[in-house]
Amino acid sequence: MQRFAVGIEFCGIRYRGWQTQQAGVPSVQESIERVLSQIADEPIILHGAGRTDAGVHATNMVAHFDSNAIRPERGWLMGSNSQLPKDISIQWIKHMEHDFHARFKAKARRYRYVVYNAPQRPALLYKQVTHIYQPLDVEKMILAAQKFQGTHNFETFRAAACQSKQPVRHVSHCQLIEHGRYLVLDIQADGFLHHMVRNIMGCLLEIGQGLYGIDHIDTLFAAQDRKAAGITAPPDGLYFIQAYYPEHFDLPQPPLGPHWLNLADAFA
């Protein structure tokens, strides 16, 4: 039995999220498992670094699977991509020792949320960014984003259906970058709660629209109640960027996707 890690890029528009669901409901995990099982001639189960909501995208979702099939890495890679839907692609594959686990060995995960702030909606970026037509006070949003850094109780910022046992997370960085009409929220933490990034972005958008001041975030943290917060931002602009692992696993670090996702790197 061999273990392989894979890096997956996908556009989430057509899928009800990463995780396999009931029959007839399209998911990214089920789509890839079906193809890998055909190549291996045996059932394959993928274990992902995290989950994504319906409509959320990924540039490097790390996952792993085990198989008895003897195939070269290039065979797995080329065979999979020749059969996968065009909106899912395996970017790399690597043979791993059995102590690797895509979910449990991840030290941190990183997301980016992209807002396109312009009077008219974009056509070429449909469902790939969130369009906000109202003017935004970006300076206030930049300052407000920094308040999410550190260790906090994110009870207010998780969905009511979240199944996590506890809401405390450590956010190592949270910065908002402005570049032309794009706003990119870059956030990394030791783990994320259900809807956490989308609820954070919803809060920042309300501040940018002048509904609240920057200190409103302190009030929300103190409330520890989802009902105290406002909107959940749409899934369209959210991207799972990367999961981080101990260095000895030596996983590939591919580019972070299209240019509007890489804008934040220029300011890092």
Active-site residue list: 53
Token pair, residue 22, equals 């009931």
Q: Alpha helices, DSSP H only, in 9-108?
A: 28-40, 73-83
Query: What span, in angstroms and rounded, lies between the C-alpha atoms of 98 and 4?
Result: 9
CA trace torsion 121, 123, 124, 128 (10° rounding): 60
- Name which of 89, 91, 110, 250 is nearest 173 in CA terms: 110
DSSP letter for each residue of 189-202: ES---TTHHHHHHH
Task: Quickly tell me which residue has 């009030």 as its tokens.
Answer: 219
Residues 192/169, Cβ–Cβ less than 8 Å: yes
213: tokens are 């001041």
Cα distances (Å, whole numbers) of residue 38 to 32, 35, 44, 63, 64: 10, 5, 9, 18, 17
